[in-house]
Amino acid sequence: MSKDISSTTLMYAILSVEDSVNTQQDYLESGEVPDDEIENEEEILGDLEQALMELIDVYKIRLKSEPDLPAIEDLLGGDSDSEG
């Protein structure tokens, strides 16, 4: 398997992880997380946010060689600058 992934795959990965971040944030803010699981769920959120930042960094590098790709701001609906 190639180490390089397609730009389409990278875009879908970013969107998927962003959705997971949003879902995890909503869960943590819902008040439904048992007290003994809050720390673990916060760690999961941190890991997801780190993964999103890393994917965005890769995407920004990809944009330099493929300028026809949508800007990261357009891909994420304008939220990317707060991510990294």
Q: What is the pLDDT of residues 22-59, one digit of tens each?
A: 999 999 999 999 999 999 999 999 999 999 999 999 99
Mean of the per-residue pLDDT values for the chain?
A: 91
Domain housing 23: 7-76
CA distances from 24 to 39, 44, 70, 79 (A): 13, 8, 26, 17
| Better pLDDT: 80 or 35 | 35
- Would residue 28 count as lying in a domain? yes
Global pTM reads 0.85
Sort 9 into a burial class: Cβ within 10 Å, 0-12 / 13-18 / 19+. Answer: exposed
Number of domains in the chain: 1
Q: What is the pLDDT of residue 37?
A: 97
Percent of the chain whose pLDDT exceeds 70: 89
Q: Comparing C-alpha atoms, which of 12, 23, 4, 27 is closest to residue 76?
A: 12
Residue 72 within any structural domain of the chain: yes
Q: Is residue 71 part of a domain?
A: yes
**In a domain? residue 19:** yes
SS3 76: coil
Q: With respect to residue 82, please indicate whether it lies within any of the assigned structural domains.
A: no
